[in-house]
Amino acid sequence: MKKVKVSLRPIVSNINLPTAMKTTILPGDSIERLFIATQVGEIYYIGNGDIRTFLDIRPQVIKLGASGGGYDERGLLGLAFHPEFYYNGLFYLHYSVAGTQGPGALPESFKPNPCDPRTLNLKWRNREIQYDHIDTVEEWILQSNGQPQKRRTLLNVRRPFFNHNGFNSLNFSPETGKLVLTTGDGGSGYDPFNLSQDDMEIAGKIIEIDVGKYSFINNPPVVTRFHELPVSIQEALTVIAKGVRNIPGISFQRFNNQYIKYAGNVGQDLVESIFSFVHYKPILVTQLIQASLLYSKPDQEGFINFGWRGWEGCFPTSTVRGCTDNSSLDEKTIAYYNESVALSGSRLQPLTSYFHQDPRPDKFGGTALTGIQPYMGNQIPGLTGGVVFTDFARKDSQPHNRGALAYTRVRPDGKQSDFSVIQTDYDFGSQSAFYASLGTNLGQSTLYLGVYGSMNVTDFNQGTVFEIVP
């Protein structure tokens, strides 16, 4: 693939952990502005060359970094503006709710033992008390006086662990006009309860929400499964995909009067994967519930399945451990063999993958996929029509942590694509630079990169947002 080099132009510095970046036009305005959501609960926008506060919900967001040594995957994770925001002022938030901290679903970290069936078939029991936190999806409105106000709550979802909640988790589909919520598998590692493949579980799915059809409910119940929702909410939901481990949102690229959808699956031990699809058959949640009550399976022809937890990208999910005779080698054992076999013919193949260890000189060893955005601009010709993605921190970047920027393309023959590293000329000096989020403007002609200076959420004001320029 063609080698591409870009520059990173700082737009805003010293902000707390940028998680989602969106552009929109404010009512009565004429300029498309960049909005930046931070993990701790602030939303800023760029106006007339300076940064202004749009909304601050820090008191409503769970206290971050209290456990795990300062690392946290909760917080304000999603921001989306209604396609008619200019006229109706509606926008949507996804965040982890303050005061909902629980003990977690398991007393200790989990790793499957292929030789012990008990570790392969765990059940999430006592969900009302054995959980980590509650995530909420809310609808807000920008009032005529310019002040945002919460309008209603759409979902309250109980999460078993602190990680894998999804990020950049709210996006409107230009194809259906619906709000798309992307959820991770619930966390820990290896999806202990296999939530991502269970049709009734909200975890591990890509879900469309018809906000126009959504009935007003002042305080929806806290749930983990679709059938626990009120019928009026069930009727507004469809499921696009399952088998998701953790996902940096979904993005759309218009091509020949169709939309290519891109979504990624953050890997476990081996590989990070980017998926693409055009045609899909969503399933109504009411149909999933009806099939469950009849102990049957709904017709899933055309339904998207990313394959987790049986598959990690192109590979059957493996447990990895060091070889005692040679510390430079690893032993890999298929963890969920039967699940890998069962899903082998129905899962979606990745568009491209990159590995956690890669000896090739023109590649890199990745850590976690953090963003996928098509680029349809012409200022960087080498990227036009391509799909740009970011990795949190490449493994070969010691002693200073550095993220990775790369791109790929959809092949006309539908086969898996290669990828190429995008070279950047920005000098971070002795600072770490974790590439944590990727955004684009409405026309997909400008790309924005969110960078953390620290992976600890307790180290405030270490975030920078860049514009990717020629």
Cβ of 88: how many Cβ atoms within 10 Å?
12
| Mean pLDDT across 35-60 | 94
Please tell me the predicted confidence (pLDDT) of residue 253: 98
Q: Is the pLDDT of residue 50 over 90?
A: no
Encode burial over 122-131: b for 16+ CB neighbours within 10 A, e otherwise: bebeebeebb
Whose structure tokens read 């200019």? Answer: 86
Encode burial over 368-386: b for 16+ CB neighbours within 10 A, e otherwise: bbbbbbbbbbeebebbeeb
| Mean pLDDT across 68-95 | 95
| Mean pLDDT across 195-204 | 97
Q: What is the DSSP letter of 291?
A: H
Q: Is the pLDDT of residue 18 over 90?
A: yes
Q: Is the pLDDT of residue 68 over 70?
A: no
Nearest CA-CA partner of 159 in 79, 72, 230: 72
Nearest CA-CA partner of 263 in 195, 366, 181: 181
Please tell me the predicted confidence (pLDDT) of residue 302: 82
Q: Is the pLDDT of residue 266 over 70?
A: yes
Query: Among 96-105, 317-326, 417-426, where is mean pLDDT lowest?
Result: 317-326
What letter represents residue 362's amino acid?
D
pLDDT in tens, 335-346: 999 999 999 999
| Mean pLDDT across 447-454 | 96
Nearest CA-CA partner of 135 in 108, 153, 110, 109: 153
At residue 248 the predicted structure's pLDDT band, cuts being 50, 70 and 90, is very high
At residue 381 the predicted structure's pLDDT band, cuts being 50, 70 and 90, is very high
Supply 263's token pair.
């979504």
pLDDT in tens, 279-335: 999 999 999 999 999 988 888 888 999 999 999 999 999 999 889 889 888 899 999
pLDDT in tens, 114-157: 999 999 999 999 999 999 999 999 999 999 999 999 999 999 99
CB proximity list for 377: less than 8 A, separation 6 or greater: 383, 384, 443, 444, 445, 446, 447
| Mean pLDDT across 42-50 | 88
Please tell me the predicted confidence (pLDDT) of residue 399: 78
